[in-house]
Amino acid sequence: MGKRILLVDQFGEITGGQVVLQALISVAHDGGFSVGILAPMGGALESTLRAVWGDKVDLFHLDEPRFTSGRKGLRDVVRMVAYCWYVLRFWRLVSGYDAVYVNSGRLALPFFLLSKLTKKPRWYYHVHLCHSGIEKRLLSFVAGSKRTSHFVLASNFIRDEFARASGVFSKKSNVSVVQNCLSHPFSDLAERDRFTREAGPLTVALIGRVSPVKGHDVLPALARRFPDLRFVMIGPVTEENRPFFDSLFADAPSNLAYGGETDDLLRTLDQYNVQLSLVPSRWDEPFGLVSIESMAASCLTLVSNRGMLPQIARTTGAFCFQSDAELVEMLERFRTAPRALLHRLARKQHQKVQRCFSFADFRQKVLAILELQVQG
C-alpha cells in the first residue's frame, strides 16, 4: 500500500483556503499519496471535489466550527471545548493515514489534541490568517510541539505578524512560509489582450465575498465619479452581509452591477469584458489570492496598501494605492490612457505573477516538506 494523506479543512464553501486545498490535493497526488478529505460536505467544495477528482479522493464529513472572528469571548471558549471533544471521534480515521494535513489555523488546536492520541500519522498545519492574540499563542504552542512535523504559513506577512507574538516562528526549523500560488486554471494561463480589442468603456471588477472589510463600500462613489466606466461586483453574498449589500445598491448609479457568485471566474471576467481588477481591502489581507488570479487572467490590477498586498504589488508591478483619493487619481489616469499602454502594463503584471507565484514552486516546497517527513 502507498502513502496515505488526510487533508482537513474547516469550510464547505470555496474561499481562498479551499483554493489552496485543491492545490494541495494536486501536490499530494504528484507525490504518490492516496488522498482523503475531511471537511464539511454538502456545499460547493464537495461538488467541486467530486467533479474534478471523482473517486481519486475519499471524502469524509466534518462539522463546520462556529467560532467568532476577531476578539474571542466566553461563548467561543465553550464552543472550542465542545468542538475539541467532537473532533476526538475521528481517532480511528486519522490513525489509518501516514500524514494528516490540517489546512486551517482554527482547526489546529482540536486536531493537535487528537494528535496526542495517535502514534502513526505525521501532523502538519497550514495557517492562512493572522488570527487574534490568544489564537496566536495557542498556535505557537502547536508549532513548538514535538508532535508537530511541520507548521506552514501562507505568506511573509503572516510570518511577521506571528513573529511579533511569539519567537517560536523565527526559531523553529519546522516552521516555513509557503506562499499561496496560482492554481488551475490560472497557473501557466496564456496572456491575452483585454484592452485593444474592446472599444467599449473600461470595466472595473471587484472580485470576492461581498463584505465591508473587502472595500466594496468604495464602489458606489467610484461609479458616480466615473459615469463613463463600468463597475461590477463578482462574488457571493452571505446572509450576514445582505444588509450591507443592499445598502450599496440603495442609491447606486446604473453603471454599477452585481455579477453574482461564480464557479468559473475566467468565464465571468470574459462575460463582463473586465479589464481592471480592484482589490480595495480595508483590512490587513493575509495574502490576497484574488490579486494574483486577476493578474494571471490579464486584468490590470490595483490593490490597497493593506497586509500582504503591498508586497505582492512590489513583486508583480500591481498598482498600490494608499487612500481612496489616490485610487480615484489612478482611475482618472487609466480612463484617459491609450488602450495599448494599458495592455502593456497588464502584460507585465501577467508575466511577473506567473513567474513569481507559480504552482511549480508551491509544489516543490510542499513536496519537500511532506517527503522529508513521511519517508523519514
The C-alpha torsion from 144 through 150 and 155 to 159, rounded to 10°, is: 10
Beta carbons of 195 and 346 less than 8 angstroms apart: yes
The count of C-alpha atoms lying within 13 angstroms of the C-alpha of 9, restricted to the half-sphere facing its C-beta, is 28
Angle between helices 44-53 and 16-30 (to 10 degrees): 30
pLDDT tens for 89-108 read: 999 999 999 999 999 999 99
Beta carbons of 125 and 105 less than 8 angstroms apart: yes
pLDDT of the residue at 1: 46
Please give the CATH number for the structural domain made up of 4-181+358-375.
Answer: 3.40.50.2000
Indicate if 203-356 has the same CATH topology as 4-181+358-375.
yes
CA distance 27 to 152: 15
* pTM for this model (two decimals): 0.90
* C-alpha grid cell, residue 372: 522529508
CA distance 343 to 72: 46
pLDDT of the residue at 170: 65
pLDDT of the residue at 376: 43
CA-closest candidate to residue 60, choices 45, 40, 75, 32: 40
- Three-class secondary structure of residue 22 per DSSP: helix
> What are the angstrom distances between the C-alpha of 303 and each of 99, 103, 206, 215, 287?
37, 26, 11, 11, 12
Its sign, for the CA torsion 82, 21, 357, 235, is negative
* C-alpha grid cell, residue 335: 480612463
**CATH architecture label of 203-356:** 3-Layer(aba) Sandwich (3.40)
pLDDT tens for 5-61 read: 999 999 998 888 999 999 999 999 999 999 999 999 999 899 999 999 999 999 999
Contacts of 302 (CB under 8 A, 6+ apart): 276, 277, 278, 279, 280, 318, 319, 320, 321, 327, 330
Q: Is the per-residue pLDDT at 262 higher than 50? A: yes
pLDDT tens for 112-166 read: 999 999 888 999 999 999 888 888 888 988 998 999 999 999 999 999 988 887 7
CA-closest candidate to residue 260, choices 281, 279, 275, 245: 245
* C-alpha grid cell, residue 49: 471535489
> In the chain, where are the structural domains located?
4-181+358-375, 203-356
Strands (E), the chain: 4-8, 34-39, 57-61, 99-102, 122-127, 150-153, 175-177, 203-207, 230-234, 256-258, 276-279, 300-304, 319-321
Most confident of 178-187, 256-265, 309-318: 309-318
